[in-house]
Amino acid sequence: MGVGFVVGVLGCAILVHAAYSTIQYRGVLKIVEEEFSGPPMNVVAELLLGLALCMWAGLAVPTKFLSILPDSEENRIVSLPANLDFMIFNHRGKVLPTNTELKLKVQDF
């Protein structure tokens, strides 16, 4: 997550810088009273660089692909999970006396 994040932030910073350069370029064009046909070459290069960095970050940062084949190395099922049918509780309740003939005694207070 670390490197991809930094690359993404760097790409965005480059894009912001390109936006600022374009705003200034337009300001200059207004003074000279020319038409805006496209950003200057260096801004275009900056845009493409920023785009490339952000694209790399956009592909690298989200979680990597997990294999979906059931017989690949990381998908080996080793244990049965929480399924009540297979849970065995080994507790001391088994030594308590069980007398199914016990009845509740009615007590007079």
- Which residues of this chain interact with another protein, rule CB under 8 A? 11-12, 15, 18-19, 22-23, 26, 36, 38-39, 43-44, 47, 50-51, 54-55, 58-59, 62-70, 72, 75, 77, 80-81, 83, 85
Q: What does residue 94 show for φ and ψ, rounded to 5 degrees?
A: -70, -15
Residue with tokens 């970050």: 57
> Do residues 56 and 9 make contact, with C-beta atoms less than 8 angstroms apart?
no
Would you put residue 33 in left (φ > 0), alpha (ψ -120 to 50) or beta?
Answer: left
To another protein, the closest distance from the beta carbon of 74 in angstroms equals 9
Q: Give the residue with the Cβ less far from another protein, 64 or 94.
A: 64
Residue 25 C-beta: closest distance to another protein, Å = 10
Rounded to an integer, what distance in angstroms lies between the CA atom of residue 36 and that of residue 24?
12
Beta carbon nearer to another protein, 63 or 90 = 63
